[in-house]
Chain A
Amino acid sequence: MRLLLPIALPAVLGLLAWLLRSARTQLAFLLGGAALHVAVVAWLFAAPAAPLGVLALDELGRLFLSLTSVVFALAALYTVSYLRDGTHDAPARPHRLVPALLWFLAAMSLVTLTHHLAVLWAAVEATTLATAPLIAFYRRRPALEATWKYLLLCSVGIALALLGTFCLGIAASGVPGGATLTLDTLVQAARAGAMARPWLEAAFVLALVGYGTKMGLAPLHTWLPDAHSQAPSPVSALLSGVVLNGAFLGILRFHQVVVASGDAAFAQALLVLLGFASIALATAFMVKQRDYKRLLAYSSVENMGVLAVGVGVGGTAAFGALLHAVNHSLAKAGLFLLAGNVLRAYGTTAAGEVRGVRRRLPATGALLLLLALAIGGLPPFGPFMSEFLVFEAALRGPTPWLGVAFAGLLAVAFLGLAGVLVPMLQPGAAAPGGDGAPRARERLLSVLSPALVAGAVLVLGLGLPPFLKELLGAAASSIGGAP
């Protein structure tokens, strides 16, 4: 029964928050829900729970469940200051924020907890539906445009993933009980060589295209920069730090089945291809990007590419990819929260109009620099370690030039990122709201979460805690990697 708690708790709290519209109560529910979720997840770590129906918690699920819980708690902390200070212009329905956030947490927990691929699909689609009203929060024209693109593209993409899920069932329909679509039966059927190969391969392609759309893999990423830049900053943080991981997990579930069938090379080649396309395309859009929130969004596309390449290269790179998912979620969530502080102080997302952040918002400026260096892949931060693992494995693999191209693209992406963010920190010429403006007030809660993630990615770069290393190793070997 305990496996139900991470889903049921936020769902019920979200319902209560929806009924009780007072802002104070809602914030209490949000913080309470986030704290309870962290506590329940910790409890599940300490004492593993027995599977329950379609729910079961394996290493991959545990990794992404805890990541979801932590990033959500950080975003919730930030949301308190975000709502209390009054948002930079008044949304039409402020009381809809908290319920949608909590329902999103419930849906996302189900994504990580289920072993039934059709339920996984339903949960991923539920995360789309819970986050769509959040992107439309301000009801401005660009926000509505972004919401429509997000809804349509992700729903259509996800429909293909359902088709892929059914194909997987058909592939296994020669096996008694194989078409039930639970992961264990599918993996067993695949190990026994009882899967019809053309259907299995079709299933993987459809899942990769479908979940890949939601994950933001190029060329299906077009909704992502719009949605991430138009959403309120805590929501952008959740989209990048949590939603993309959910779609990634969907792809990994299919990958597990394909690996078990002994056809891993097929899936890996496709992952490497889409991964490289994402890194290259995102890098091209990051250089000379004018909007700093879009810049961060394209950086997410790039990092999703890193995850795909890592899983595609396999071996220690798969371990690196999962570690990179942790690093990216934390660092990018922090960056989007900081971007929210900048947006509030300057009232624009145009990077060219923002100058002197270090002086006007000292804590935000310092953390922005740290996290930009971290996500750019500089040592001694965590993303450097995880990207290095992928690079090293690619270099040692059968096609070393892949590793060289990988490192080269990441270097250009870093220059693009730094080229936009660093001038924002420096004092500048007479940009509006620039040098002459007084120091803005920074609340503790508006910089606490980013400070915590900055600390975390630094620790992850210096050395992995043993429990995380063990978890990542077990999760990596379940997707055909090496610990």
Chain B
Amino acid sequence: MSQLGDFLLLVVVILGLQAVATSRITAAVRAVALQGAALAFLPFALGHVHGVWGMVTSCAVVLVLKGAVIPLLLRRAIEKARVVHEAAPFVSLHLSVLLGAALVGAAFWISSRLVLPGPAPNRLVVPIALATLLLGFLVIVTRRKAVTQVVGYLMLENGVFIFGQALAVHLSWAVELAILLDVLAGVFVMGIAIHQISREFDHIDVDALSELRD
């Protein structure tokens, strides 16, 4: 089981780096969708087994929401806003890949100094959670298009989700579902906002949203 866990966590961080490295917005969305799908199997791989049916439903719900429904909402927003490329990110792609790699290194370094008080489910959980979270931040602050910022937000949220897996005791399914539905509703509302912005401004460049200031 620990090998499956290692594999999934490595896939997650590679997908995170891919989202940082790509200029095609649909590729970034695909990366975060696959990341979400990988996360669906993480509780199982880490051995948080609480009955077969609970495991299967929780896996299915995460798979459907993070792997299919949320990416679908994002794709619709992209189509409506008619954007394809992250044309001119604030930081060049080469530099952001370097920064991303540095952040992953930093995540491992920080985690080496954190000691979990309880038993650790997998030694990679905390560093990969931190790395995913930091990569999400990187995407949010370096990209110009509102849609890509949502991708960054989702990566951040995925990082928090992995971190939650470090909790030895499972949250009740209702609480986990509430958190997932919040993320879903959040992406839904952000999608509507992006649609309205693209209609009103004819673009979704966040740096051009700068009328309000003192």
Partner of A166, one of B160, B212, B214: B160
In the complex, are the beta carbons of A159 and B175 less than 8 A apart? no
State which size class the interface on A falls in. 35 or more
Is A62 in contact with chain B by the CB < 8 A criterion? no
In the complex, are the beta carbons of B209 and A145 less than 8 A apart? yes
With a cutoff of 8 Å between Cβ atoms, the chain B residues found around residue A152 in the complex are 140, 149, 153, 190
With a cutoff of 8 Å between Cβ atoms, the chain A residues found around residue B51 in the complex are none
Chain A positions 121 through 159: 1 when the CB is less than 8 Å from some CB of chain B, otherwise 0: 110011011001100100111101111110110011001
A-B contact count (CB 8 A): 126
In the complex, are the beta carbons of A170 and B118 less than 8 A apart? yes
In the complex, are the beta carbons of A198 and B193 less than 8 A apart? no
With a cutoff of 8 Å between Cβ atoms, the chain B residues found around residue A177 in the complex are 169
With a cutoff of 8 Å between Cβ atoms, the chain B residues found around residue A128 in the complex are 186
Is B9 in contact with chain A by the CB < 8 A criterion? no
* Chain B contact residues, majority secondary structure: helix
In the complex, are the beta carbons of A141 and B211 less than 8 A apart? yes
Among residues 154 to 176 in chain B, which have CB atoms less than 8 Å away from a CB atom of chain A? 156-157, 159-160, 163-164, 166-169, 171, 175
In the complex, are the beta carbons of A132 and B214 less than 8 A apart? no
Partner of B209, one of A129, A148, A155, A198: A148
Q: What CA separation (Å) do A294 and B212 show in the bound complex?
A: 10
In the complex, are the beta carbons of B182 and A129 less than 8 A apart? yes
Chain A positions 154 through 176: 1 when the CB is less than 8 Å from some CB of chain B, otherwise 0: 01100100110010011101100
Q: Which chain A residue lies CB-closest to B194?
A: A148
With a cutoff of 8 Å between Cβ atoms, the chain B residues found around residue A122 in the complex are 175, 178-179, 181-182
Partner of A147, one of B140, B153, B182, B193: B193
Is B10 in contact with chain A by the CB < 8 A criterion? no
Is A387 in contact with chain B by the CB < 8 A criterion? no
Among residues 97 to 122 in chain B, which have CB atoms less than 8 Å away from a CB atom of chain A? 114-118
With a cutoff of 8 Å between Cβ atoms, the chain B residues found around residue A18 in the complex are none
In the complex, are the beta carbons of B166 and A170 less than 8 A apart? yes
Is A116 in contact with chain B by the CB < 8 A criterion? yes
In the complex, are the beta carbons of B118 and A174 less than 8 A apart? yes
A149 touching B186 in the complex, CB below 8 Å, given contacts A119-B178, A133-B192, A174-B117? no
Is B185 in contact with chain A by the CB < 8 A criterion? yes
Q: Which chain B residue lies CB-closest to A110?
A: B178
In the complex, are the beta carbons of B166 and A156 less than 8 A apart? no
Q: Which of B37-45, B53-61, B64-72, B195-203 contacts A (4 or more CB under 8 A)?
A: B195-203
Is B88 in contact with chain A by the CB < 8 A criterion? no
With a cutoff of 8 Å between Cβ atoms, the chain B residues found around residue A126 in the complex are 182, 185
Is A181 in contact with chain B by the CB < 8 A criterion? yes
Nearest chain B CB to A143 CB, angstrom units: 9
Is B33 in contact with chain A by the CB < 8 A criterion? no
Spell out B's residues near A (CB within 8 Å): 114-118, 133, 137, 140, 146, 149, 153, 156-157, 159-160, 163-164, 166-169, 171, 175, 178-179, 181-182, 185-186, 189-190, 192-193, 196-197, 200-201, 206, 209-212, 214
Spell out A's residues near B (CB within 8 Å): 54, 116, 118-119, 121-122, 125-126, 128-129, 132-133, 136, 139-142, 144-149, 151-152, 155-156, 159, 162-163, 166, 169-171, 173-174, 177, 179-181, 196, 198-199, 225-226, 229-230, 285, 289, 294
The 3 closest A-B pairs by CB, nearest first: A173-B118, A196-B117, A179-B169
